[in-house]
């Protein structure tokens, strides 16, 4: 395959993505090892952070959103790794390539699966975090979920593509965080900015970070759509 063909068959792509998504969810449901390890890891990060400074009331509110997002980012950079490494070690990536689905379907299916896994982990972590760091999230829950969704989408898009990159290299486990974390700098900054606004005393939702996150997601979704085919070649 010299020049990847860009499929414009939207229905076919979505159907293929649905099949991949179902496969990912089924595989995870059978073992649930990904979710378990990720949630425990993120929890550990949150607890360990509390030892690095005095988690008293005023201070914790100032740093809380940063801690939360760093925990998500670290957890994501570990959790997204098996997405393609698992296919590589079982040699199922070959079968996936042979399957009559477009590469964009594989990307979309995996991306949605990773987004769901990551969001589930965040939803478990959020109440624990609220209790441990004494922040009020209930009055702004809907807005907070929007920020979480946008940030997590950015994390899942880049994470899924980079998981495919790392799976082809040596030292993949170490490589994925290295690839992912610097690229996600803007997501971290904008998400923390938006979350800090929501957790501060009169809570306020700034529009700029949200628009910024939407922009990041769109740019990297588009880039992934066009570049992912190259990663699927033999």
Partner 1 sequence: MRSTVKTLWLGAALVALLLGIAGYTAFFIAPTERTMGDIQRIFYFHVTSAWTGFLSFFIVFIANVAYLVARKPRWDSLAVSAAEVGLAFTTVVLVTGPIWAHPVWGIWWTWDARLTSTFVLWLLYVVYLILRNLLEDPERRATVSAVYGIFAFLDVPIVYMSIRWWRTQHPQPVIAGGSGSGLDATMWRVVLVCWAALLSLMVLVLRSRYQLEKLRHEVAELSYEIDSRAPGTGSRGLARQETGGQGGATR
CA atoms within 13 A on the CB side of 234: 8
Can you point out the beta strands (E) in 89-229?
A: none
With CB under 8 A as the contact rule, the residue among 14, 175, 205, 221 that binds partner 1 is: 175
Number of residues binding to partner 1, judged by CB under 8 A: 31
- Buried (b) or exposed (e) across 153-183, using 16+ Cβ within 10 A? bbbbbbbbbbbbbbbeeeebeebbbebbeeb
Cβ 213 to partner 1, closest distance in Å? Answer: 10
Closer to partner 1 by Cβ: residue 125 or 176:
176
Among 67, 80, 190, 198, binds partner 1 (CB under 8 A): 190
Residue 183 makes contact with partner 1 by CB under 8 A: yes
Distances 219 to 30, 124, 138, 212 between C-alpha atoms, Å: 34, 29, 32, 11
Nearer to partner 1, 9 or 233 (CB): 233
Least distance between partner 1 and beta carbon 168 (Å):
6
- The nearest distance, CB 81 to partner 1, in angstroms, is 14
Rounded CA-CA distance 181/64 in Å is 19
Binding stretches for partner 1 (CB under 8 A):
2, 158, 161-162, 165, 168-171, 175, 178-179, 182-183, 185-186, 189-190, 193, 208-209, 212, 215-216, 219-220, 223, 227, 230-231, 233
């Amino acid at each position: 395959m010299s020049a990847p063909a860009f499929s414009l068959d939207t229905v076919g792509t979505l159907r293929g993505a649905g099949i991949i998504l179902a496969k990912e969810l089924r595989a995870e449901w059978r073992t649930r090892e990904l979710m378990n390890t990720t949630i425990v890891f993120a929890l550990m990060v949150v607890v360990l952070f509390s030892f690095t400074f005095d988690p008293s009331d005023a201070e914790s509110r100032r740093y809380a959103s940063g801690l939360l997002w760093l925990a998500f980012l670290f957890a994501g950079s570990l959790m997204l790794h098996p997405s393609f490494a698992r296919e590589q070690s079982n040699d199922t990536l070959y079968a996936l390539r042979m399957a009559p689905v477009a590469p964009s379907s594989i990307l979309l299916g995996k991306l949605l699966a990773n987004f769901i896994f990551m969001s589930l982990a965040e939803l478990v972590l959020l109440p624990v975090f609220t209790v441990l760091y004494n922040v009020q999230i209930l009055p702004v829950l809907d807005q907070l979920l929007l920020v979480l969704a946008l940030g997590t989408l950015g994390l899942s898009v880049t994470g899924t593509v980079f998981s495919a990159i790392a799976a082809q290299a040596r030292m993949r486990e170490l490589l994925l965080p290295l690839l992912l974390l610097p690229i996600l700098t803007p997501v971290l900054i904008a998400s923390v900015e938006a979350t800090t606004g929501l957790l501060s005393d009169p809570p306020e939702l700034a529009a700029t970070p949200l628009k910024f996150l939407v922009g990041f997601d769109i740019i990297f979704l588009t880039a992934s759509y066009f570049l992912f085919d190259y990663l699927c070649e033999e």
